[in-house]
């Protein structure tokens, strides 16, 4: 299980690779553009190539690209819905050009309170974006579970797995899941015990079969289970605690799945410390 962090590329792509090495990353997640803007500057091909060369020399990978926060694939506002499809297609094509084989996206909302209708609408949007990106053979789309706040969809593993199954039915490209521990905890899933992790994965697999989890966001949570409040805490300092992450690391079905931490706090400490805490737990078993 490779462990890394979400890192910034604002100071330069090659410098981001050096930062990843310095804080102990074995894999990384990045934004290829500002997550809070629709506009996207053209990628600097030379800088991206140098980033990938350094990542390879440091044995860091894979790289995951995280999509913009603006994207809402469940919106009933047709202008926003279409813009979100275009935005996700752009994220997929930019990830391909940046050498990142995965794009993680939040799926958006269920504004009508119709889960079946939301799942159909969101899955159709994903399929259209994959097709429009022309990156389907190079990039896998990963759908992330939500904390369930407001009307955000895919808080439950049942909803997340259903989305994956529906996107696969369109047969347009590769799709999987990213499971965020803080989101799952905030929604009410038990990620503090081995039995809780078994139930979570059973629920997901009942909908889309085994092997859909391609990434874990390893984030502790500040608030109690079921709070629907997505506030990240450092590993072992929140409500999930060391026991929850130890259970995650011990779950057989998650072996080999990369882990990315997304922490508040000052850099580089927030990344160096949290990566080290997970590595310490992982490396108690050399087979992980």
What CA–CA distance (Å, rounded) separates 153 from 159?
8
Greatest CA separation found in the chain?
51
Mapping DSSP to helix (H, G, I), strand (E, B) and coil, where does residue 144 land? strand
d(CA 228, CA 81): 24
Nearest-10 Cα torsion for 66, 70, 74, 76 = -170
Q: Is residue 285 part of a domain?
A: no
221 within a domain of the structure (yes/no): yes
Q: Rounded to the nearest 10 degrees, what angle do helices 157-170 and 194-208 cross at? A: 30
The reply to whether 44 falls in a domain is yes
Residue 28: both structure tokens together: 């990384």
* CA–CA distance, 273 with 270 (Å, rounded to integer): 6
**What distance in Å separates the CA atoms of residue 40 and residue 17, rounded to the nearest whole number?**
21
What DSSP string describes 217-275? E--EESS-TT-----EE-TTSSSSHHHHHHHHHH-GGGTT--EEE---S-TTHHHHHHH
**What Rg, from alpha-carbon coordinates, does the chain have?**
18
* Structure-token pair, residue 280: 């310490």
- Domain presence at residue 215: yes
| pLDDT averages per 10-residue partition of the chain, 288 residues | 97 98 98 91 96 98 97 97 98 97 98 95 98 95 96 97 98 97 98 98 98 98 97 98 98 98 98 98 72
What is the reported pLDDT for 285? 57
Could you tell me the residue range of the domain that residue 266 belongs to?
3-275
Q: Look at residue 74 and give its three-state secondary structure.
A: coil
Is 288 a domain residue?
A: no
Q: How many domains does the chain have?
A: 1
Question: What burial letters (b/e) apply to 100-138, b meaning 16+ CB within 10 Å?
Answer: bbbbbbbbbbbeeeeeeebbebbbbbbbbbbbbbebbeb
Q: Is the pTM of this model over 0.85?
A: yes
Pairing of strands 232-233, 220-221: antiparallel
Please report which helix (H) or strand (E) contains residue 23, including its range: helix 13-23
286, part of any domain: no
- Residue 204's pLDDT is 98
For residue 85, being part of any structural domain is answered with yes
Task: Say if 287 falls within a structural domain.
Answer: no
CATH classification of the domain holding 209: 3.20.20.150
Residue 10 exposed, middle or buried by CB count within 10 Å (0-12, 13-18, 19+): exposed
d(CA 195, CA 217): 19
Distance between CA atoms of residues 37 and 183, nearest Å: 23
User: Comparing C-alpha atoms, which of 216, 236, 133, 124 is closest to residue 170?
Assistant: 124
């Amino acid at each position: 299980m490779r462990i890394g962090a979400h890192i910034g590329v604002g100071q330069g792509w090659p410098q981001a690779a050096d930062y990843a090495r310095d804080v102990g990353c074995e894999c990384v997640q990045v934004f290829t553009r500002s997550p809070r803007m629709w506009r996207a500057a053209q990628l600097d091909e030379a800088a991206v190539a140098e980033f990938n060369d350094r990542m390879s020399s440091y044995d860091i990978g894979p790289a995951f690209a995280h999509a913009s926060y603006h994207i809402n694939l469940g919106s009933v506002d047709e202008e926003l819905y279409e813009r979100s499809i275009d935005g996700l297609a752009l994220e997929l094509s930019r990830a391909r050009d940046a050498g990142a084989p995965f794009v993680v996206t939040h799926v958006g909302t269920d504004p009508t309170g119709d889960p079946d209708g939301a799942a159909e609408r969101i899955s159709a949007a994903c399929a259209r974006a994959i097709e429009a990106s022309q990156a389907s053979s190079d990039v896998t789309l990963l759908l992330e579970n939500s904390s369930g706040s407001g009307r955000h969809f895919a808080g439950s593993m049942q909803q997340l797995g259903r989305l994956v199954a529906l996107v696969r039915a369109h047969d347009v490209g590769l799709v999987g899941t990213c499971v965020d521990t803080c989101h799952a905890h905030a929604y009410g899933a038990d990620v503090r015990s081995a039995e809780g992790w078994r139930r979570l994965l059973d629920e997901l697999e009942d909908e889309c079969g085994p092997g859909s989890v391609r990434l874990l966001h390893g984030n502790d949570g500040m608030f109690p289970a079921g709070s629907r409040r997505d506030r990240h805490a450092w590993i072992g300092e929140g409500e999930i605690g060391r026991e929850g992450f130890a259970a995650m690391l011990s779950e057989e079905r998650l072996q080999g799945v990369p882990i990315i931490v997304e922490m508040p706090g000052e850099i580089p400490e927030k990344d160096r410390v949290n990566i080290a805490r997970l590595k310490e737990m992982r490396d108690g078993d050399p087979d992980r």
